């Protein structure tokens, strides 16, 4: 197995997307002590922001080149094909989820949990629920990220066209949509009620910002990104957000937060990508770019290979992670739920994710479709490669 | 390590209660001491009249063999009567399956008018999670509810979700549990952390919450313990309240 090479592809993207996938997996295992390592416990944003930003970045990187070289129609068609693949992956995950929940509904009974059994109600109306699931309106717990991604990809072709011609205007349009969404509370309805947990009209801003950075925006911003003032502001903001998160857990600390600040700050909205979450992500990103240079030798070392290879096959690894989090929970319920078991399940899940990603790389290599052996667009795996 | 910490906390906080009845579920619950005071409960006790309303969904109801109500509000009432001799304690329940926090909030005026409670125990969250209510809407409903109750001179004790290991991966309650803890801290309201208590019971083997059963044996004992712990919280919360003297502050 060859280690990832440093080409024109920025391995940092793969590294951090791989890490984000691990964190998403860990966060999806309930009552898991290993969850304490995940970034959502230390600040406003979480792994979802990293995932969406990097996905926008790589989408623009791969399809931007395709659009220049192969034309708008071909690149647009490839993007839509990718959206379709993500859709199929989502429906596959839904089938696994339904199998698990049906099993539990059938085998578990306890009067104490009469109320919780309400989540099985949807099994009584498969006619409605299955159709709603295929329309992406019915989304069970922890299955909200892929639908967001499908919508973002489906809307990406015209946006990419615009980003290549007038990047500033495209970014401005995206920001305007974000602002209008906050103001008019636009969102896509969900079933049985409510609306999407990740509002695509709001989250698109992070995706588009990632795409804009990939198409030259990062270079234009490099003076700002690398300035010590920016770094200081970012460190200050991370410290501030860590302190605010502490006040949610430790009674008494709360008194130190002035009321005017509370009134402006809350709620920190995940559904609509609240600005504090956005800034928290930007702070993390700015410091990361400073601390981890593009030609960082460790990126080619075996130590980071596990995360990088996961990031290179992120659609497959993401789906696998959702499945593994179900499976880990299932094993904990059926066998043992002690702390040791939680740690073992968390590590085992990550090992399986890495092994699967390595296997996919190997398949691509033997089939001559490796990102490195193929001329033309470098294969970003979530978005382009290996189709 | 964690066990030791829990054990120490138990010894410190719930030790008194455990010694009193020797019941391991009380000790195994860990610390349940309220963070904030319950002044209206204190003044109710001072007047020898304590009216409590329980608002909740299906996990506040439990019917045993023969149709008798064996849910935690009954045990709460019994325990309070024992702890507060001479005080007329009355617990009225307003439970309805599948009701969300904002639906419960809408009926608060009726509850206040009917029972004029010193304390409302507000159990909610699970129905919102099942029905996929926006966590922000849930948070606003709790916040508004606190306004209504405070305006009616009633204290509030929030009760969060049950710990339900079997359904944990399928029912995402974290956002709602976080919202409730957040409002409790912001509004200085007492939170009865049913989720953590039940999880401790399960971890330490006091109750097996994984087992499938058709009988109500475990459920009844769980509700019994929850009711007594709640009573403990109510009484301690009242003790935290500054003594209201005549003429003085």
Residue B98 lies in a domain: yes
Q: Which of A111, A116, A192 sits opposite B216 (nearest CB)?
A: A111
Chain A hits for B58, Cβ within 8 Å: 114-115, 118
DSSP H helical segments within B35-131, as ranges? 39-46, 72-83, 101-106, 108-115, 126-131
Backbone angles phi, psi at A248, to 5 degrees: -80, -20
- Confidence at residue A370, expressed as pLDDT on a 0 to 100 scale: 54
Chain B hits for A32, Cβ within 8 Å: none
- At A64 the three-state DSSP class reads helix
Q: Which of A192, A247, A337 sits opposite B165 (nearest CB)?
A: A337
Residue B93 scores a pLDDT above 70: yes
Whether A308 and A299 have beta carbons less than 8 Å apart is answered as yes
Interface of B with A in 91-110 (CB under 8 A): 97-98
Mean pLDDT of all residues in chain A? Answer: 88
- At B200 the three-state DSSP class reads helix
Total domain count, chain B: 1
The count of residues in chain B is 249
Closest-approach residue (CA) in chain B for A338 = B203
Closest-approach residue (CA) in chain B for A197 = B134
- Tell me the per-residue pLDDT of A175-207, one tens digit each, with 9 for 90 and over: 999 999 999 999 999 988 788 999 999 999 999
Cβ of B169 and A325 within 8 Å? yes
**Residue reference for tokens 């931007």:** A64
- Tell me the per-residue pLDDT of A240-274, one tens digit each, with 9 for 90 and over: 999 999 988 776 777 788 888 887 888 788 899 99
Residue B246 lies in a domain: no
Cβ of A326 and B136 within 8 Å? no
Any CB–CB contact under 8 A between B228 and chain A?
A: no
DSSP H helical segments within A268-338, as ranges? 275-291, 305-312, 314-334
Higher per-residue pLDDT: B66 or B243: B66
Q: CA A214 from chain center: how many Å?
A: 17
Any CB–CB contact under 8 A between B247 and chain A?
A: no
Cβ of A141 and B172 within 8 Å? yes
Residue B211 lies in a domain: no
Percent of chain A with pLDDT over 90: 63
Query: Which of A37-51, A96-110, A292-306 bottoms out in mean pLDDT, i.e. has the lowest?
Result: A96-110
Helix orientation angle between A314-334 and A11-27, rounded to the nearest 10 degrees: 20
Whether A18 and A311 have beta carbons less than 8 Å apart is answered as yes
B49 Cα to chain A: minimum distance (Å): 31
- How far is residue A324's CA from residue A146's CA, in Å, rounded to a whole number? 16
- How far is residue A278's CA from residue A37's CA, in Å, rounded to a whole number? 21
Residue B93 lies in a domain: yes
Sheet of B88-95, strands arranged across: B88-95, B49-56, B119-123, B155-159, B190-192
B47 Cα to chain A: minimum distance (Å): 31
- Tell me the per-residue pLDDT of A331-365, one tens digit each, with 9 for 90 and over: 888 888 788 999 999 999 999 999 999 999 999 99
B129 Cα to chain A: minimum distance (Å): 9
Any CB–CB contact under 8 A between B114 and chain A?
A: no
The CATH code of the domain that includes B225 is 3.40.50.1110
- How far is residue B156's CA from residue B98's CA, in Å, rounded to a whole number? 21
- How far is residue A258's CA from residue B183's CA, in Å, rounded to a whole number? 16
Cβ of B167 and A104 within 8 Å? yes
Whether A383 and A75 have beta carbons less than 8 Å apart is answered as no
- What number is the average pLDDT over the span B36-60? 96
Residue B147 lies in a domain: yes
- Tell me the per-residue pLDDT of A288-306, one tens digit each, with 9 for 90 and over: 999 998 889 899 999 999 9
Q: Which two tokens stand for residue A68?
A: 């220049």
Cβ of A30 and B212 within 8 Å? no
Mutate to test the interface with A, among B161, B166, B218 (most CBs of A within 10 A): B166
- Confidence at residue A8, expressed as pLDDT on a 0 to 100 scale: 65
Residue B4 scores a pLDDT above 90: no
Chain A hits for B180, Cβ within 8 Å: none
Closest-approach residue (CA) in chain A for B182 = A248
Mutate to test the interface with B, among A25, A118, A273, A327 (most CBs of B within 10 A): A118
Q: CA A253 from chain center: how many Å?
A: 32
Chain A hits for B97, Cβ within 8 Å: 115, 118
Chain B hits for A114, Cβ within 8 Å: 58-59, 61-62
- How far is residue A232's CA from residue A237's CA, in Å, rounded to a whole number? 9
Any CB–CB contact under 8 A between B186 and chain A?
A: yes
Burial class (CB in 10 A: 0-12, 13-18, 19+), A153: buried
- How far is residue B127's CA from residue B133's CA, in Å, rounded to a whole number? 9
Give the helix/strand (H/E) hosting B155: strand B155-159
Q: Which of A225, A247, A279, A288 has its CA nearest to residue A44?
A: A279
- Confidence at residue B82, expressed as pLDDT on a 0 to 100 scale: 96
Residue A367 scores a pLDDT above 60: yes
**Residue reference for tokens 């939680």:** A342
Closest-approach residue (CA) in chain B for A143 = B170
Any CB–CB contact under 8 A between B213 and chain A?
A: yes
Q: CA B110 from chain center: how many Å?
A: 21
- How far is residue B10's CA from residue A229's CA, in Å, rounded to a whole number? 49
Any CB–CB contact under 8 A between B33 and chain A?
A: no
Residue A85 scores a pLDDT above 50: yes
Q: Which two tokens stand for residue B113?
A: 């008018």
Any CB–CB contact under 8 A between B133 and chain A?
A: yes
Cis peptide before A192 (omega within 30 of 0): yes
Q: Which two tokens stand for residue A70?
A: 């192969």
- What number is the average pLDDT over the span A211-232? 93
B126: left (phi over 0), alpha (psi -120 to 50) or beta: alpha
Interface of B with A in 147-176 (CB under 8 A): 162, 164-172, 175
DSSP H helical segments within B123-192, as ranges? 126-131, 135-151, 174-186
Cβ of B134 and A325 within 8 Å? no
What is the value of ipTM here, to two decimals?
A: 0.85
Range of the domain at B224: 35-195+216-240
Cβ of B2 and A339 within 8 Å? yes
Cβ of A333 and B210 within 8 Å? yes
Residue B6 scores a pLDDT above 70: no
Chain A hits for B99, Cβ within 8 Å: none
**Separation in Å, CA A362 to CA A2, A133, A313:** 9, 34, 12
Give the helix/strand (H/E) hosting B56: strand B49-56
Mutate to test the interface with A, among B167, B179, B208 (most CBs of A within 10 A): B167
- How far is residue A163's CA from residue A170's CA, in Å, rounded to a whole number? 5
Sign of CA dihedral A92, A93, A95, A100: positive
- Confidence at residue B20, expressed as pLDDT on a 0 to 100 scale: 40
Chain A hits for B139, Cβ within 8 Å: 267
Closest-approach residue (CA) in chain B for A187 = B134
Chain B hits for A269, Cβ within 8 Å: 136
Residue B247 scores a pLDDT above 90: no
Give the helix/strand (H/E) hosting B28: none
The count of residues in chain A is 387
Mutate to test the interface with B, among A26, A116, A133 (most CBs of B within 10 A): A116
- How far is residue B92's CA from residue B69's CA, in Å, rounded to a whole number? 13
Whether B154 and B188 have beta carbons less than 8 Å apart is answered as no
Whether B139 and B182 have beta carbons less than 8 Å apart is answered as yes
Higher per-residue pLDDT: B243 or B179: B179
Mean pLDDT of all residues in chain B? Answer: 87
């Amino acid at each position: 197995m060859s280690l990832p090479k440093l080409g024109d592809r920025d391995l940092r993207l793969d590294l951090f997307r791989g890490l984000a996938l691990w964190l998403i997996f860990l966060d999806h295992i309930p009552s898991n002590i290993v969850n304490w390592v995940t970034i959502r416990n230390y600040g406003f944003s979480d792994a979802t922001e990293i995932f969406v930003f990097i996905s926008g970045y790589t989408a623009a990187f791969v399809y931007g080149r395709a659009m220049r070289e192969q034309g708008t129609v071909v690149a647009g068609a490839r993007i839509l094909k990718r959206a379709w693949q993500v859709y199929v992956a989502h429906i596959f995950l839904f089938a696994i989820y339904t199998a698990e929940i049906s099993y539990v509904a059938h085998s578990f009974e306890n009067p104490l949990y009469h109320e919780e059994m309400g989540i099985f109600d949807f099994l009584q109306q498969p006619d409605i629920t299955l159709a709603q699931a295929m329309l992406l309106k019915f989304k069970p717990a922890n299955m909200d990220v892929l639908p967001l991604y499908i919508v973002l990809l489906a809307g990406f072709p015209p946006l990419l066209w615009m980003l290549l011609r007038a990047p500033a205007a495209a970014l401005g349009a995206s920001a305007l949509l974000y602002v209008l969404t906050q103001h008019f509370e636009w969102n896509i309805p969900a079933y049985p009620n409510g609306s999407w947990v990740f509002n695509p009209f709001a989250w698109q801003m992070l995706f588009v910002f990632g795409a804009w950075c990939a198409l030259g925006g990062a270079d234009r911003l490099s003076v700002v990104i690398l300035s010590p003032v920016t770094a200081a502001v970012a460190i200050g903001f991370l410290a501030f957000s860590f302190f605010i998160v502490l006040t949610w857990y430790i009674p008494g600390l709360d008194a130190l937060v002035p009321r005017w600040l509370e009134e402006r700050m809350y709620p920190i909205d995940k559904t609509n990508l609240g600005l504090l979450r956005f800034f928290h992500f930007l702070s993390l990103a700015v410091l990361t770019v400073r601390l981890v240079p593009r030609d960082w030798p460790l990126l080619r070392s075996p130590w980071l290979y596990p995360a990088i290879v996961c990031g290179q096959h992120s659609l497959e690894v993401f789906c696998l992670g959702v499945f593994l989090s179900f499976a880990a929970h299932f094993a904990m319920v059926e066998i043992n739920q002690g702390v040791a078991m939680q740690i073992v399940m968390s590590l085992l899940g990550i090992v399986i994710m890495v092994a699967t990603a390595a296997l996919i790389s190997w398949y691509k290599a033997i089939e001559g479709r490796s990102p490195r052996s193929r001329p033309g667009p470098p294969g970003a795996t979530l978005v382009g490669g290996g189709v | 390590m964690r066990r030791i910490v829990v054990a120490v906390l138990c010894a410190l906080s719930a030790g008194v209660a455990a010694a009193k009845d020797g019941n391991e579920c009380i000790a195994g619950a860990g610390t349940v001491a309220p963070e904030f005071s319950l002044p209206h409960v204190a003044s109710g006790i001072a007047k020898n009249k304590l009216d409590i309303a329980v608002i909740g969904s299906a996990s506040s109801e439990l019917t045993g063999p023969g149709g008798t109500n064996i849910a935690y509000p009954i045990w709460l009432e019994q325990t309070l009567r024992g702890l507060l001799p001479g005080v007329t304690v009355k617990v009225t329940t307003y439970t309805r399956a599948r009701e969300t926090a904002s639906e419960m909030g809408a009926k608060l005026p009726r509850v206040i008018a009917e029972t004029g409670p010193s304390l409302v125990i507000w159990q909610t969250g699970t129905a919102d999670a099942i029905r996929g209510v926006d966590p922000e809407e849930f948070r606003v409903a709790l916040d508004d509810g606190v306004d209504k109750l405070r305006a009616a001179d009633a204290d509030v004790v929030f009760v969060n979700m049950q710990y339900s290991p079997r359904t944990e991966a399928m029912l995402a309650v974290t956002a709602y549990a976080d919202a409730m803890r957040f409002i409790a801290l912001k509004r200085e309201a007492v939170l009865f952390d049913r989720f953590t208590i039940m999880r401790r019971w399960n971890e330490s083997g006091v109750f097996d919450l994984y087992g499938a059963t058709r009988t109500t044996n475990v459920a009844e004992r769980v509700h019994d313990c929850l009711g007594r712990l709640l009573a403990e919280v109510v009484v301690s919360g009242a003790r935290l309240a500054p003594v209201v003297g005549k003429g003085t502050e």
